[in-house]
Each structure stands twice: as structure tokens, then as C-alpha cells.
Amino acid sequence: MRNASLVLGIIAGIIGMIVGFFGYGYTAAIEHFGEIEGVAEQVAHVDQVRVAAVLSPIFALAGGGMARARALPGGVLLLLSAAGMYFGFGFNVFTMFPICMAAVGGLLAIAAGKPDEEKTHF
């Protein structure tokens, strides 16, 4: 389960970076060039999109990387990444895979215990 959460976290982080680049770039382009009515309009919460574009992929990559060694903090970071992408970008065709991958990876990491020990996460 730890290996699965590692792979899901890294894939979610990479796809999240692509979504984040476009999200941040879109808000910056509209800010710089101005709106085109009916075609390209600024989002309601620019800072929310920008924070999600930067932090969510980082949390997914860090959580995925931590999942093998420290499952509990890695799982929490993956769940924070999924929540950040959802609140920053919403659930749509571009974000459904990174959100679901980060969420499933986070749940798997939290549910995983060390294979050789009875105690989990410590």
C-alpha cells in the first residue's frame, strides 16, 4: 500500500503541476492583457487559484515521496493536496485524475502500517 501511495502521489503531483501551470498562467495572462468578454474572463478568487496551483502539486509530490518511509505524514500531505486542488480548481475533466489519485494515495498511506510491525505509523 505504501508503494501504491508513492506512485499515486507522484503521478498526481506531476499532473497537478500541469494543471497548476495553466491555472496560474491563465490568471496572470488575464491580469496582464485584460479580459475578453465572453471568451476569457478573470476568475473570482485569483489568490485562491494561485495558492492551489503552487502548493497542491508540491504537497502531492512530497506526500508521495514520504509515503514509504513515513506513511502518516505522507498520507496527510496527499489528502491536503487533493483538498487544495478541489478548492482551488474545482472538480472537472482536468482535475479529476490528480484529485482522485492524491486522495486514494492519501487514504492508502494512512491505512498502511509497517509490514513487519503491529503498530502503525510509528
Q: Is residue 117 part of a domain?
A: no
Residue 121 resides in a domain? no
pLDDT at 86: 97
Neighbours of 73 (CB within 10 A): 16
DSSP three-state, residue 2? helix
Residue found under cell 494512512: 110
* pLDDT reading at 113 higher than 70: no
Task: Assess if residue 120 is contained within a domain.
Answer: no
Question: Measured in whole angstroms, how far is the alpha carbon of residue 43 from the centre of its chain?
Answer: 20
Arithmetic mean of pLDDT over the chain:
91
Pull the grid cell for residue 30.
Answer: 488575464
- Identify which of 74, 29, 77, 32 has the alpha carbon closest to the alpha carbon of residue 56: 77
From residue 115, alpha-carbon distances to 3, 29, 51 in Å are: 12, 49, 36
Average pLDDT over residues 84-101: 96
Q: Is residue 119 part of a domain?
A: no
Q: Record the cell numbers describing residue 110, joined without a space.
A: 494512512
4: Cα within 13 Å, side-chain hemisphere: 12
Contact 46, 27 (CB under 8 A): yes
Residues 6+ apart with CB under 8 A from 38: none
Say if 46 falls within a structural domain.
yes
- Number of structural domains (the chain) is 1
What is the span of the domain harbouring residue 77? 2-111
pLDDT over 70 percentage in the chain:
92
**Model-level pTM greater than 0.85?**
yes
Task: Dump pLDDT digits (tens) for 19-66.
Answer: 999 999 999 999 999 888 888 899 899 999 999 999 999 999 999 999
pLDDT at 116: 45
